[in-house]
Structure formats: C-alpha cells, structure tokens
Amino acid sequence: MPTEELSELDPEQISRIVHMATASRYLKSRSNVDTTGIMYEVNQDFARTMNKIIMEKTLETPEEELDGMIPPNLNLPAPPPPKVAP
C-alpha cells in the first residue's frame, strides 16, 4: 500500500485526537503521556482508508477513462454485498 503521496492528518486533527485520547481521569493526572505510538497507528489507518476510498472511486469510473491506469489483466473479486442495518 503506497502512502508516500497521501496527505496525513493536519495538526488540528492530531491535537483533537490526542486531547480526546488523554481526557480520561487516569491520564489527566499524568503530565507526560507518550502518544507517538497511537498517533502512528491512527495515521496508518487514515492512509489505508484514503487508499481504499481512492481505489473504490477509481474502479467506479468507466474503463475508457482509465486508459493505461489499471492493467487489463487485473481480476478483482466481486465487492461484498452491503450489510443489512439492524
């Protein structure tokens, strides 16, 4: 999964995530909480989600517009049926 060209979370989003993650009663009493590991995971999840959205949008475009973008011998499985909401 290439993530080099994808945007990352902006500082405002990171600040909100860190604030919400450290807002528990236990973590409020701690002055120095290391959040680098969890922010790395959040950025990875964000990149995977953006890749999936881009791929789904690309596969929805007609083949004529994709000229040379996707190899003609690429066979993808059928998309799963939509889940029924309870």
For residue 31, the surrounding DSSP H or E stretch is: none
Distance of CA 86 to the CA centre of its chain: 26
Q: Is the pTM of this model over 0.75?
A: no
Q: How far is CA 82 from CA 28, 61, 79, 85, 86, in A?
A: 41, 20, 9, 9, 13
Residue 1 reports pLDDT greater than 70: no
Give the mean pLDDT of 22-40: 83
**Residues of the chain above pLDDT 70, percent:** 95
Which amino acid, residue 73?
A: N
Task: Identify the residue whose tokens are 């040379």.
Answer: 68
Over residues 32-72, the pLDDT tens digits come to 888 888 889 999 899 888 888 888 888 788 777 777 777 76
What is the end-to-end Cα distance of the chain in Å, rounded?
33
Q: What is the mean pLDDT of the chain?
A: 83
